[in-house]
Chain A
Amino acid sequence: QSALTQPASISGSPGQSITISCTGTSSDVGRYNYVSWFQQHPGKAPKLMIYDVSNRPSGVSNRFSGSKSGNTASLTISGLQAEDESDYYCNSHTSSNTLVFGGGTKLTVL
Chain B
Amino acid sequence: QVQLVQSGSELKTPGASVKVSCKASGYTFTGHSMNWVRQAPGQGLEWMGYINTINGNPTYAQGFAGRFVFSLDTSVSTAYLQVSSLKAEDTAVYYCARDVNMGALDYWGQGTLVTVSS
Residues in chain A within 8 A of chain B (CB atoms): 1, 3, 32, 34-36, 38, 40, 45-48, 51-52, 57, 87, 89, 91-93, 97-104
Query: What residues of chain A lie closer than 8 Å to B105, measured between beta carbons?
Result: 36, 38, 46, 48, 91
Residue ranges of B at the interface with A (Cβ–Cβ < 8 Å)? 35, 37, 44-47, 49-50, 59, 61-62, 95, 97, 100-106, 108-111
Q: Are B106 and A98 in contact (CB under 8 A)?
A: no
Q: How many A-B residue contacts, CB cutoff 8 Å?
A: 69
A45-B111, A89-B44, A89-B45 known; A34+B102 contact, CB < 8 A: yes
A45 contacts B110, CB within 8 Å? yes
A34 to B100, CA, bound (A): 11
Q: Identify B45's interface contact among A48, A97, A101, CB under 8 A.
A: A101
Q: Find out whether the CB atom of B59 lies under 8 angstroms from the CB atom of A98.
A: yes
Asked if A52 and B44 sit within 8 Å, CB to CB, the answer is no
Chain A residue nearest to B111 (CB atoms) is A45
Min distance, Cβ B32 to any Cβ of chain A, angstroms: 13
For residue B111, which residues in chain A have a CB less than 8 angstroms away from its CB? 45
